[in-house]
Structure 1
Protein backbone atom coordinates (compact mmCIF):
# COMPACT_ATOMS: atom_id res chain seq x y z
CA UNK A 1 0.00 0.00 0.00
CA UNK A 2 2.81 2.37 -0.82
CA UNK A 3 1.71 4.09 -4.01
CA UNK A 4 0.64 7.72 -3.71
CA UNK A 5 -2.91 8.79 -4.47
CA UNK A 6 -3.39 9.61 -8.13
CA UNK A 7 -4.87 12.85 -9.33
CA UNK A 8 -8.65 12.68 -9.19
CA UNK A 9 -8.87 10.44 -6.11
CA UNK A 10 -8.87 11.94 -2.64
CA UNK A 11 -6.65 10.70 0.15
CA UNK A 12 -9.72 9.75 2.16
CA UNK A 13 -11.13 7.70 -0.71
CA UNK A 14 -7.76 5.99 -1.19
CA UNK A 15 -7.63 4.96 2.47
CA UNK A 16 -11.23 3.76 2.34
CA UNK A 17 -10.74 1.65 -0.79
CA UNK A 18 -7.40 0.15 0.30
CA UNK A 19 -8.65 -0.86 3.74
CA UNK A 20 -12.02 -2.06 2.48
CA UNK A 21 -10.32 -4.34 -0.03
CA UNK A 22 -7.98 -5.71 2.65
CA UNK A 23 -10.81 -6.31 5.13
CA UNK A 24 -13.28 -7.87 2.70
CA UNK A 25 -10.49 -9.94 1.15
CA UNK A 26 -9.53 -11.33 4.56
CA UNK A 27 -6.02 -9.85 4.58
CA UNK A 28 -6.91 -7.79 7.66
CA UNK A 29 -8.37 -10.25 10.13
CA UNK A 30 -11.27 -9.58 12.52
CA UNK A 31 -10.15 -7.77 15.64
CA UNK A 32 -6.95 -6.43 14.05
CA UNK A 33 -5.94 -3.07 15.50
CA UNK A 34 -5.76 -0.22 12.98
CA UNK A 35 -3.07 2.25 13.96
CA UNK A 36 -3.79 5.63 12.39
CA UNK A 37 -0.18 6.86 12.37
CA UNK A 38 1.15 3.62 10.91
CA UNK A 39 -1.53 3.56 8.20
CA UNK A 40 -0.87 7.19 7.30
CA UNK A 41 2.82 6.41 6.84
CA UNK A 42 2.20 3.20 4.90
CA UNK A 43 -0.34 4.69 2.48
CA UNK A 44 1.46 8.06 2.40
CA UNK A 45 -1.54 10.15 3.34
CA UNK A 46 -2.42 12.44 6.24
CA UNK A 47 -3.64 11.16 9.59
CA UNK A 48 -6.85 13.11 9.00
CA UNK A 49 -7.48 11.20 5.78
CA UNK A 50 -7.04 7.91 7.64
CA UNK A 51 -9.53 8.99 10.31
CA UNK A 52 -12.07 10.01 7.67
CA UNK A 53 -11.55 6.75 5.75
CA UNK A 54 -12.01 4.73 8.93
CA UNK A 55 -15.21 6.64 9.70
CA UNK A 56 -16.55 5.66 6.26
CA UNK A 57 -15.67 2.02 6.94
CA UNK A 58 -17.33 2.18 10.35
CA UNK A 59 -20.53 3.34 8.65
CA UNK A 60 -20.40 0.10 6.63
CA UNK A 61 -19.75 -1.98 9.77
CA UNK A 62 -16.33 -3.07 8.54
CA UNK A 63 -14.47 -1.44 11.43
CA UNK A 64 -15.44 -0.50 14.98
CA UNK A 65 -14.15 2.29 17.18
CA UNK A 66 -13.63 1.94 20.91
CA UNK A 67 -13.20 4.85 23.35
CA UNK A 68 -9.51 5.37 24.16
CA UNK A 69 -8.60 2.26 22.15
CA UNK A 70 -9.00 3.45 18.57
CA UNK A 71 -10.19 1.41 15.60
CA UNK A 72 -10.24 -2.32 15.01
CA UNK A 73 -11.49 -4.53 12.18
CA UNK A 74 -15.02 -5.60 13.05
CA UNK A 75 -15.27 -9.02 14.73
CA UNK A 76 -17.19 -11.92 13.21
CA UNK A 77 -19.57 -14.35 14.86
CA UNK A 78 -21.77 -17.28 13.98
CA UNK A 79 -24.81 -15.39 15.23
CA UNK A 80 -23.96 -12.35 13.11
CA UNK A 81 -23.48 -14.55 10.05
CA UNK A 82 -26.92 -16.10 10.51
CA UNK A 83 -28.50 -12.66 10.91
CA UNK A 84 -26.58 -11.38 7.89
CA UNK A 85 -27.69 -14.25 5.66
CA UNK A 86 -31.32 -13.91 6.78
CA UNK A 87 -31.28 -10.19 5.94
CA UNK A 88 -29.52 -10.81 2.64
CA UNK A 89 -32.03 -13.45 1.58
CA UNK A 90 -34.94 -11.11 2.19
CA UNK A 91 -33.31 -8.17 0.39
CA UNK A 92 -32.23 -10.28 -2.59
CA UNK A 93 -35.73 -11.72 -2.89
CA UNK A 94 -37.18 -8.21 -3.01
CA UNK A 95 -34.55 -7.04 -5.50
CA UNK A 96 -35.08 -10.05 -7.75
CA UNK A 97 -38.85 -9.60 -7.77
CA UNK A 98 -38.51 -5.93 -8.73
CA UNK A 99 -35.85 -6.70 -11.34
CA UNK A 100 -38.02 -9.39 -12.93
CA UNK A 101 -41.00 -7.04 -13.05
CA UNK A 102 -39.10 -4.08 -14.48
CA UNK A 103 -35.96 -5.44 -16.17
CA UNK A 104 -35.57 -4.93 -19.92
CA UNK A 105 -33.61 -6.73 -22.65
CA UNK A 106 -30.39 -4.94 -21.68
CA UNK A 107 -30.80 -6.28 -18.16
CA UNK A 108 -31.29 -9.79 -19.50
CA UNK A 109 -28.21 -9.41 -21.68
CA UNK A 110 -26.18 -8.25 -18.69
CA UNK A 111 -27.14 -11.38 -16.77
CA UNK A 112 -26.19 -13.68 -19.64
CA UNK A 113 -22.86 -11.89 -20.09
CA UNK A 114 -22.02 -11.94 -16.37
CA UNK A 115 -22.89 -15.62 -16.08
CA UNK A 116 -20.84 -16.48 -19.16
CA UNK A 117 -17.80 -14.73 -17.71
CA UNK A 118 -18.23 -16.31 -14.28
CA UNK A 119 -18.55 -19.76 -15.85
CA UNK A 120 -15.22 -19.33 -17.64
CA UNK A 121 -13.22 -18.24 -14.60
CA UNK A 122 -11.55 -20.73 -12.23
CA UNK A 123 -12.95 -20.47 -8.71
CA UNK A 124 -9.62 -21.28 -7.06
CA UNK A 125 -6.29 -19.52 -7.38
CA UNK A 126 -4.10 -21.91 -9.44
CA UNK A 127 -1.03 -21.01 -7.37
CA UNK A 128 -2.89 -21.33 -4.05
CA UNK A 129 -5.74 -23.83 -4.53
CA UNK A 130 -7.02 -23.25 -0.99
CA UNK A 131 -7.72 -19.59 -1.83
CA UNK A 132 -10.47 -18.08 -3.93
CA UNK A 133 -9.35 -16.59 -7.23
CA UNK A 134 -9.49 -12.79 -7.15
CA UNK A 135 -10.89 -12.84 -10.70
CA UNK A 136 -13.61 -15.31 -9.69
CA UNK A 137 -14.54 -13.23 -6.64
CA UNK A 138 -14.88 -10.13 -8.84
CA UNK A 139 -16.90 -12.00 -11.48
CA UNK A 140 -19.11 -13.53 -8.81
CA UNK A 141 -19.93 -10.10 -7.43
CA UNK A 142 -20.68 -8.81 -10.93
CA UNK A 143 -23.01 -11.77 -11.53
CA UNK A 144 -25.05 -11.16 -8.38
CA UNK A 145 -25.26 -7.44 -9.18
CA UNK A 146 -26.39 -8.23 -12.72
CA UNK A 147 -29.25 -10.38 -11.41
CA UNK A 148 -30.75 -7.44 -9.50
CA UNK A 149 -29.65 -4.60 -11.80
CA UNK A 150 -33.17 -4.31 -13.23
CA UNK A 151 -34.54 -3.31 -9.83
CA UNK A 152 -35.52 0.38 -9.96
CA UNK A 153 -35.44 0.81 -6.16
CA UNK A 154 -32.05 2.34 -5.37
CA UNK A 155 -32.48 1.90 -1.61
CA UNK A 156 -32.88 -1.84 -2.06
CA UNK A 157 -29.82 -1.94 -4.32
CA UNK A 158 -27.71 -0.05 -1.79
CA UNK A 159 -28.72 -2.48 0.93
CA UNK A 160 -28.02 -5.37 -1.43
CA UNK A 161 -24.47 -4.12 -2.02
CA UNK A 162 -23.72 -3.61 1.68
CA UNK A 163 -24.98 -7.08 2.57
CA UNK A 164 -23.07 -8.67 -0.31
CA UNK A 165 -19.86 -7.00 0.84
CA UNK A 166 -20.31 -8.30 4.38
CA UNK A 167 -21.08 -11.80 3.08
CA UNK A 168 -17.99 -11.73 0.89
CA UNK A 169 -15.87 -11.01 3.95
CA UNK A 170 -17.09 -14.20 5.59
CA UNK A 171 -16.55 -16.14 2.38
CA UNK A 172 -12.95 -14.98 2.05
CA UNK A 173 -12.18 -15.72 5.70
CA UNK A 174 -13.59 -19.23 5.35
CA UNK A 175 -12.32 -20.09 1.87
CA UNK A 176 -9.10 -21.94 2.84
CA UNK A 177 -11.01 -24.70 4.61
CA UNK A 178 -14.33 -24.73 2.77
CA UNK A 179 -13.33 -26.88 -0.19
CA UNK A 180 -16.37 -29.16 -0.41
CA UNK A 181 -18.23 -30.72 -3.30
CA UNK A 182 -20.93 -28.32 -4.47
CA UNK A 183 -22.34 -27.52 -7.88
CA UNK A 184 -22.12 -23.74 -7.61
CA UNK A 185 -22.24 -23.34 -11.38
CA UNK A 186 -25.44 -25.39 -11.47
CA UNK A 187 -26.98 -23.20 -8.76
CA UNK A 188 -26.08 -20.09 -10.75
CA UNK A 189 -27.49 -21.60 -13.98
CA UNK A 190 -30.77 -22.40 -12.25
CA UNK A 191 -31.00 -18.80 -11.03
CA UNK A 192 -30.36 -17.45 -14.51
CA UNK A 193 -33.02 -19.72 -16.02
CA UNK A 194 -35.64 -18.72 -13.45
CA UNK A 195 -34.92 -15.01 -13.78
CA UNK A 196 -34.93 -15.02 -17.58
CA UNK A 197 -38.22 -16.94 -17.53
CA UNK A 198 -39.56 -14.15 -15.29
CA UNK A 199 -40.49 -16.71 -12.64
CA UNK A 200 -40.41 -14.67 -9.42
CA UNK A 201 -41.43 -17.51 -7.10
CA UNK A 202 -38.78 -19.90 -8.40
CA UNK A 203 -36.06 -17.22 -8.48
CA UNK A 204 -36.76 -16.27 -4.86
CA UNK A 205 -36.71 -19.89 -3.72
CA UNK A 206 -33.45 -20.54 -5.56
CA UNK A 207 -31.65 -17.48 -4.20
CA UNK A 208 -32.73 -18.39 -0.66
CA UNK A 209 -31.40 -21.94 -1.11
CA UNK A 210 -28.19 -20.67 -2.75
CA UNK A 211 -27.39 -18.27 0.07
CA UNK A 212 -28.35 -20.75 2.76
CA UNK A 213 -26.05 -23.39 1.22
CA UNK A 214 -23.17 -20.93 1.39
CA UNK A 215 -23.98 -20.02 5.00
CA UNK A 216 -23.96 -23.67 6.07
CA UNK A 217 -20.52 -24.17 4.52
CA UNK A 218 -19.19 -21.12 6.33
CA UNK A 219 -20.69 -22.18 9.67
CA UNK A 220 -19.13 -25.63 9.36
CA UNK A 221 -15.72 -24.25 8.52
CA UNK A 222 -13.10 -24.56 11.30
CA UNK A 223 -12.12 -20.92 10.72
CA UNK A 224 -15.50 -19.92 12.15
CA UNK A 225 -15.74 -22.58 14.84
CA UNK A 226 -16.39 -21.30 18.36
CA UNK A 227 -13.51 -21.82 20.75
CA UNK A 228 -14.14 -22.29 24.50
CA UNK A 229 -12.83 -18.78 25.14
CA UNK A 230 -15.14 -17.29 22.53
CA UNK A 231 -18.23 -19.26 23.47
CA UNK A 232 -19.36 -16.91 26.22
CA UNK A 233 -19.10 -13.78 24.10
CA UNK A 234 -20.40 -15.37 20.90
CA UNK A 235 -17.40 -14.12 18.94
CA UNK A 236 -15.72 -16.52 16.57
CA UNK A 237 -12.01 -17.25 16.52
CA UNK A 238 -10.62 -16.75 13.03
CA UNK A 239 -7.19 -18.23 12.42
CA UNK A 240 -4.82 -16.83 9.78
CA UNK A 241 -4.81 -18.76 6.51
Structure 2
Protein backbone atom coordinates (compact mmCIF):
# COMPACT_ATOMS: atom_id res chain seq x y z
CA UNK A 1 0.00 0.00 0.00
CA UNK A 2 2.87 2.33 0.78
CA UNK A 3 4.30 1.64 -2.70
CA UNK A 4 0.98 2.59 -4.33
CA UNK A 5 0.86 5.83 -2.37
CA UNK A 6 4.43 6.64 -3.40
CA UNK A 7 3.65 5.97 -7.07
CA UNK A 8 0.52 8.13 -6.87
CA UNK A 9 2.52 10.95 -5.26
CA UNK A 10 5.21 10.79 -7.94
CA UNK A 11 2.59 10.75 -10.71
CA UNK A 12 0.82 13.77 -9.23
CA UNK A 13 4.06 15.68 -8.82
CA UNK A 14 5.09 14.98 -12.43
CA UNK A 15 1.89 16.62 -13.67
CA UNK A 16 1.99 19.55 -11.26
CA UNK A 17 5.70 20.29 -11.73
CA UNK A 18 5.40 19.96 -15.51
CA UNK A 19 2.59 22.52 -15.59
CA UNK A 20 4.57 24.90 -13.38
CA UNK A 21 7.51 24.67 -15.79
CA UNK A 22 5.40 25.00 -18.95
CA UNK A 23 3.48 27.98 -17.56
CA UNK A 24 6.62 29.74 -16.34
CA UNK A 25 6.17 29.52 -12.57
CA UNK A 26 9.72 28.20 -12.54
CA UNK A 27 11.85 30.27 -14.91
CA UNK A 28 14.10 28.74 -17.59
CA UNK A 29 17.44 27.80 -16.01
CA UNK A 30 16.10 28.22 -12.45
CA UNK A 31 17.52 25.85 -9.81
CA UNK A 32 14.88 23.48 -8.48
CA UNK A 33 15.72 23.39 -4.78
CA UNK A 34 14.37 20.33 -2.98
CA UNK A 35 13.23 22.33 0.04
CA UNK A 36 11.10 24.60 -2.13
CA UNK A 37 9.67 21.69 -4.12
CA UNK A 38 8.81 19.75 -0.95
CA UNK A 39 6.93 22.74 0.42
CA UNK A 40 5.08 23.47 -2.83
CA UNK A 41 3.95 19.93 -3.62
CA UNK A 42 3.76 18.58 -0.06
CA UNK A 43 5.71 15.40 -0.81
CA UNK A 44 9.00 13.84 0.23
CA UNK A 45 12.31 13.62 -1.60
CA UNK A 46 11.56 10.16 -3.09
CA UNK A 47 8.52 11.16 -5.21
CA UNK A 48 10.26 14.40 -6.18
CA UNK A 49 13.31 12.57 -7.50
CA UNK A 50 11.08 10.19 -9.46
CA UNK A 51 9.21 13.15 -10.95
CA UNK A 52 12.40 15.03 -11.80
CA UNK A 53 13.86 11.92 -13.45
CA UNK A 54 10.76 11.67 -15.65
CA UNK A 55 10.97 15.34 -16.62
CA UNK A 56 14.66 14.87 -17.36
CA UNK A 57 13.67 12.27 -19.96
CA UNK A 58 11.12 14.72 -21.38
CA UNK A 59 13.85 17.41 -21.59
CA UNK A 60 12.02 19.83 -19.31
CA UNK A 61 14.73 19.76 -16.63
CA UNK A 62 18.49 19.26 -16.72
CA UNK A 63 20.77 17.75 -14.08
CA UNK A 64 24.06 19.23 -12.91
CA UNK A 65 26.80 17.04 -11.43
CA UNK A 66 26.44 17.15 -7.64
CA UNK A 67 24.29 20.29 -7.94
CA UNK A 68 20.78 18.96 -8.40
CA UNK A 69 18.25 19.90 -11.06
CA UNK A 70 17.46 23.05 -13.03
CA UNK A 71 14.66 23.97 -15.42
CA UNK A 72 15.75 23.32 -18.99
CA UNK A 73 17.12 26.62 -20.39
CA UNK A 74 15.76 28.28 -23.52
CA UNK A 75 17.34 29.75 -26.63
CA UNK A 76 16.35 31.10 -30.04
CA UNK A 77 18.15 28.19 -31.65
CA UNK A 78 16.09 25.62 -29.73
CA UNK A 79 12.85 27.57 -30.20
CA UNK A 80 13.21 27.66 -33.99
CA UNK A 81 14.06 23.96 -34.10
CA UNK A 82 11.01 23.08 -31.98
CA UNK A 83 8.60 25.28 -33.92
CA UNK A 84 9.81 24.21 -37.35
CA UNK A 85 9.71 20.52 -36.43
CA UNK A 86 6.31 20.90 -34.81
CA UNK A 87 4.88 22.65 -37.88
CA UNK A 88 6.00 19.79 -40.12
CA UNK A 89 4.68 17.09 -37.79
CA UNK A 90 1.36 18.91 -37.40
CA UNK A 91 1.00 19.23 -41.18
CA UNK A 92 1.66 15.50 -41.52
CA UNK A 93 -1.01 14.73 -38.90
CA UNK A 94 -3.50 17.09 -40.57
CA UNK A 95 -2.93 15.52 -43.98
CA UNK A 96 -3.53 12.02 -42.60
CA UNK A 97 -6.60 13.23 -40.70
CA UNK A 98 -8.11 14.65 -43.89
CA UNK A 99 -7.47 11.34 -45.64
CA UNK A 100 -8.88 9.18 -42.86
CA UNK A 101 -11.12 11.35 -40.69
CA UNK A 102 -14.84 10.53 -40.50
CA UNK A 103 -17.99 12.48 -39.62
CA UNK A 104 -17.15 12.28 -35.93
CA UNK A 105 -13.77 13.92 -36.64
CA UNK A 106 -15.52 16.77 -38.49
CA UNK A 107 -18.02 17.21 -35.65
CA UNK A 108 -15.15 17.37 -33.14
CA UNK A 109 -13.49 20.16 -35.12
CA UNK A 110 -16.70 22.20 -35.23
CA UNK A 111 -17.34 21.75 -31.50
CA UNK A 112 -13.78 22.68 -30.51
CA UNK A 113 -13.76 25.72 -32.82
CA UNK A 114 -17.05 26.91 -31.35
CA UNK A 115 -15.77 26.59 -27.76
CA UNK A 116 -12.56 28.43 -28.61
CA UNK A 117 -14.26 31.31 -30.42
CA UNK A 118 -16.91 31.63 -27.72
CA UNK A 119 -14.20 32.31 -25.14
CA UNK A 120 -11.94 34.50 -27.29
CA UNK A 121 -13.40 37.78 -26.00
CA UNK A 122 -12.48 36.79 -22.41
CA UNK A 123 -8.93 35.59 -23.10
CA UNK A 124 -7.36 38.53 -21.27
CA UNK A 125 -9.26 37.67 -18.07
CA UNK A 126 -8.31 33.98 -18.13
CA UNK A 127 -5.45 33.22 -20.56
CA UNK A 128 -5.04 29.68 -19.20
CA UNK A 129 -8.65 28.79 -20.07
CA UNK A 130 -8.19 30.21 -23.56
CA UNK A 131 -4.98 28.20 -23.94
CA UNK A 132 -6.84 25.04 -22.87
CA UNK A 133 -9.55 25.59 -25.48
CA UNK A 134 -6.95 26.48 -28.09
CA UNK A 135 -5.14 23.21 -27.32
CA UNK A 136 -8.41 21.26 -27.60
CA UNK A 137 -9.03 22.75 -31.06
CA UNK A 138 -5.59 21.76 -32.32
CA UNK A 139 -5.99 18.29 -30.79
CA UNK A 140 -9.36 17.89 -32.54
CA UNK A 141 -8.03 18.70 -36.00
CA UNK A 142 -5.34 15.99 -35.82
CA UNK A 143 -7.41 13.36 -33.99
CA UNK A 144 -8.42 11.68 -37.25
CA UNK A 145 -4.87 10.80 -38.26
CA UNK A 146 -5.14 7.46 -36.39
CA UNK A 147 -1.44 7.31 -35.51
CA UNK A 148 -0.72 7.07 -31.76
CA UNK A 149 3.01 7.33 -32.45
CA UNK A 150 2.70 10.58 -34.39
CA UNK A 151 0.33 12.00 -31.79
CA UNK A 152 2.80 11.23 -29.00
CA UNK A 153 5.60 13.02 -30.89
CA UNK A 154 3.20 15.90 -31.48
CA UNK A 155 2.29 16.07 -27.77
CA UNK A 156 5.93 16.34 -26.74
CA UNK A 157 6.59 19.11 -29.26
CA UNK A 158 3.45 20.98 -28.18
CA UNK A 159 4.62 20.98 -24.57
CA UNK A 160 8.10 22.19 -25.46
CA UNK A 161 6.69 24.94 -27.69
CA UNK A 162 4.23 26.01 -24.99
CA UNK A 163 7.11 27.12 -22.73
CA UNK A 164 8.08 29.69 -25.33
CA UNK A 165 4.52 30.64 -26.24
CA UNK A 166 3.61 31.25 -22.59
CA UNK A 167 6.62 33.51 -22.14
CA UNK A 168 5.34 35.68 -24.95
CA UNK A 169 1.68 35.53 -23.90
CA UNK A 170 2.47 36.73 -20.37
CA UNK A 171 3.39 40.18 -21.60
CA UNK A 172 1.35 40.42 -24.78
CA UNK A 173 -2.20 39.28 -24.06
CA UNK A 174 -3.48 42.77 -24.89
CA UNK A 175 -2.13 42.83 -28.43
CA UNK A 176 -5.52 42.50 -30.10
CA UNK A 177 -4.16 42.70 -33.63
CA UNK A 178 -2.21 39.48 -33.16
CA UNK A 179 -5.21 37.61 -31.74
CA UNK A 180 -7.57 38.95 -34.41
CA UNK A 181 -5.19 37.55 -37.03
CA UNK A 182 -4.98 34.32 -35.05
CA UNK A 183 -8.77 33.93 -35.06
CA UNK A 184 -8.90 34.47 -38.82
CA UNK A 185 -6.22 31.81 -39.29
CA UNK A 186 -8.33 29.37 -37.27
CA UNK A 187 -11.40 30.17 -39.39
CA UNK A 188 -9.55 29.60 -42.68
CA UNK A 189 -8.03 26.41 -41.34
CA UNK A 190 -11.41 25.06 -40.20
CA UNK A 191 -12.92 25.83 -43.59
CA UNK A 192 -10.11 24.03 -45.45
CA UNK A 193 -10.35 21.00 -43.16
CA UNK A 194 -14.09 20.60 -43.60
CA UNK A 195 -13.70 20.95 -47.37
CA UNK A 196 -11.03 18.23 -47.25
CA UNK A 197 -8.67 20.62 -49.05
CA UNK A 198 -5.47 18.81 -48.09
CA UNK A 199 -2.92 21.12 -49.71
CA UNK A 200 -4.47 24.31 -48.33
CA UNK A 201 -4.97 22.90 -44.83
CA UNK A 202 -1.38 21.64 -44.58
CA UNK A 203 -0.01 24.97 -45.81
CA UNK A 204 -2.20 26.92 -43.40
CA UNK A 205 -1.29 24.83 -40.35
CA UNK A 206 2.43 25.21 -41.02
CA UNK A 207 2.10 28.99 -41.39
CA UNK A 208 -0.15 29.19 -38.32
CA UNK A 209 2.25 27.29 -36.08
CA UNK A 210 5.27 29.27 -37.21
CA UNK A 211 3.60 32.64 -36.46
CA UNK A 212 4.39 32.61 -32.69
CA UNK A 213 8.07 31.92 -33.36
CA UNK A 214 8.24 35.03 -35.54
CA UNK A 215 6.58 37.09 -32.80
CA UNK A 216 8.99 35.68 -30.23
CA UNK A 217 12.00 36.55 -32.37
CA UNK A 218 10.72 40.10 -32.74
CA UNK A 219 10.17 40.41 -28.98
CA UNK A 220 13.90 40.06 -28.21
CA UNK A 221 13.12 38.20 -24.96
CA UNK A 222 14.94 34.94 -25.70
CA UNK A 223 18.74 34.50 -25.66
CA UNK A 224 20.45 33.54 -28.91
CA UNK A 225 22.07 30.44 -27.44
CA UNK A 226 21.59 28.28 -24.38
CA UNK A 227 23.67 29.46 -21.42
Aligned residues: 218
Q: 1:181 aligns with which of 169, 177, 198?
A: 177
CA RMSD of aligned residues (A): 1.9
Alignment map for 1:112-131 (pairs within 5 Å): 112-122=110-120, 124-126=123-125
- Mark the runs of 5 or more structure 2 residues left unpaired by the alignment: none
Q: Which position in structure 1 is the counterpart of 2:216?
A: 218
Larger helix proportion of the pair: 2
Q: After TM superposition, give the deviation of residue 223 of structure 1 in Å.
A: 2.3
- State the TM-score, normalized to the length of structure 2: 0.90
| CA distance in structure 1 between the aligned counterparts of 2:6 and 2:140, rounded to whole angstroms | 28
What are the Cα deviations for residues 22-60 of structure 1, in whole angstroms up to 9, with x where unaligned? 111111110111122431233221211001111111111
> Residues 104 and 9 (structure 1 numbering): CA distance in 2 closer, same or farther, change over 3 Å?
farther
- State the TM-score, normalized to the length of structure 1: 0.85
Alignment map for 1:150-189 (pairs within 5 Å): 150-178=144-172, 179=175, 181-182=177-178, 183-189=181-187
Q: After TM superposition, give the deviation of residue 204 of structure 1 in Å.
A: 0.8
Using the TM superposition, name which of 50-59 and 175-184 deviates more: 175-184
| Structure 1: 4+ residue segments shifted above 3 A | none
- Alpha carbons 2:10, 2:48 under 8 Å: kept: yes
Q: After TM superposition, give the deviation of residue 61 of structure 1 in Å.
A: 1.1
What are the Cα deviations for residues 182-230 of structure 1, in whole angstroms up to 9, with x where unaligned? 3111100111111111111111100111112111001111322x4xxxx
- Mark the runs of 5 or more structure 1 residues left unpaired by the alignment: 1-6, 127-131, 237-241
Residue 223 of structure 1 aligns to a residue whose secondary structure is coil
Highest relative contact order (Cα 8 Å, sep 6+), 1 or 2? 2
